[in-house]
Structure 1
Amino acid sequence: MRVAQNLFANYRVLDNTAYVVMKEDAYILDEVGQLVWKEIGEGNTVENIVNTVIHTYQDRGGKIKNIEKDINSFIKDLLKNNLIEEVI
């Protein structure tokens, strides 16, 4: 599956905190969330995004199954909040 950032979602970093702002709602992104957001913006598939996160964080003790589950859950949350949309 490929997803794209909603054109109306704005990414900002203020005081070292990353936000995605949509209308009057703001969502804070942690370090992994920022990586996922960047990868989405570059047009990567969800599978490629998962692989990038695994490659980046597995050496830090992240377990592959947990990383995959967490990223897929995060993608679903982004879709649910209309911050991203599925590309057909």
Structure 2
Amino acid sequence: MKPTRDIFVQYRVINGVKYIMKNYKVFQLDEVGELIWDSLDGQTTLDEIAEKIAKLYKVDQSIILHDVAVFIKEMSQNELIEI
């Protein structure tokens, strides 16, 4: 699976806090959420995203993969990404 950001989602940084917005819904991104969001280019797989985060935070990739999958599911349900 290689998800990509929906082209109608807006990305803003306000007072150092990162937000994505679509259809009058606003979602705040934390540091990991921002890493995932930036990786959603339609070319990068979930495994590759999880590997990048696991290396950065020195955490087991299998744990991160589950968390990334949950995050992707939530973003898909809110129509923020295309799969």
Instruction: Tell me if both proteins adopt one fold, taking TM over 0.5 as the criterion.
Output: yes
* Cα distance between partner residues in 2 of 1:8 and 1:28: 17
Amino acid at match of 1:41: D
1:57 CA displacement: 1.2
Establish whether residue 26 from structure 1 lines up as the match of residue 52 from structure 2: no
Gaps of 5+ in 1: none
- Within 5 Å, which residues of 2 pair with 1:1-88? 1-41=1-41, 43-58=43-58, 62-86=59-83
Task: Give the structure-2-normalised TM-score.
Answer: 0.90
Amino acid at match of 1:21: M
Instruction: Give RMSD over aligned pairs.
Output: 1.4
SS of 1:43's equivalent in the other structure is coil
> Deviations 1:35-65 (Å, cap 9, x if unpaired)?
000111373111111111111111xxx3433
1:75 CA displacement: 0.7
Which ranges of 4 or more aligned residues in structure 1 deviate by more than 3 Å?
62-65
Gaps of 5+ in 2: none
Number of positions where the alignment pairs a residue of Structure 1 with one of Structure 2 = 83
SS of 2:19's equivalent in the other structure is strand
